Amino acid sequence: MTRFTIHDADRAHDEWGANCGPGALAAIMDMTLDEVKPIMLAVGFEGRRYTNPAMMNAALRIVGKPWRKIGANWPDYGLVRVQWEGPWTQPGVPMAARYRYTHWIGHFQGRTSRGVFDINCMNNGTGGCALADWERVIAPLLCANYPRATGGWHVTHAIEVERKAEAG
């Protein structure tokens, strides 16, 4: 699924802070993290070390592959921004307060199942896992990293990307 390994991801994290946003972009766009680096730096990743929706949209424009925003629905193939829930998602809390509690993943719909790319799953060799496993195991583990998180989450942004043509 990915053109990079856990060693590439660790090196990119150490060298320039690569994390979930650059990882999901690279996986879905069939790029390496080295190929994604100049794109992410061009959209302001350096110094921030996070990817907000505007930055992801700008990165997608640079990549140049067809894509479209689809609200908060799961794409057949594309990028998904997850919001971890907690006191920061309560009514009246400024939207900007929520941004530090988000996570980018890739999503793909197969013929019979749905899968996810998560940079935190690179120890399996691909970063890919079944969506059901991600929801049951990975999401709760990630959410637990945030004090006061409720354990809930929801999709805030989804981007459908033109799927790479399959040979055959």
Per-residue pLDDT tens over the stretch 123-155? 999 999 999 999 999 999 999 999 999 999 999
Cα–Cα distance measured from residue 137 to residue 143, given in angstroms and rounded to the nearest whole number? 10
Can you name the residues that pair with 69 across neighbouring β-strands?
159
Going by pLDDT thresholds of 50, 70 and 90, the confidence category of residue 120 is very high
Cβ proximity of 104 and 21 under 8 Å: yes
| Range 106-110 average pLDDT | 97
Place of tokens 């969506």: 131
CATH architecture of 6-161: Alpha-Beta Complex (3.90)
Going by pLDDT thresholds of 50, 70 and 90, the confidence category of residue 89 is very high
Can you name the residues that pair with 106 across neighbouring β-strands?
79, 117
As a whole number, the mean pLDDT across the chain is 97
Residues 6+ apart with CB under 8 A from 91: none
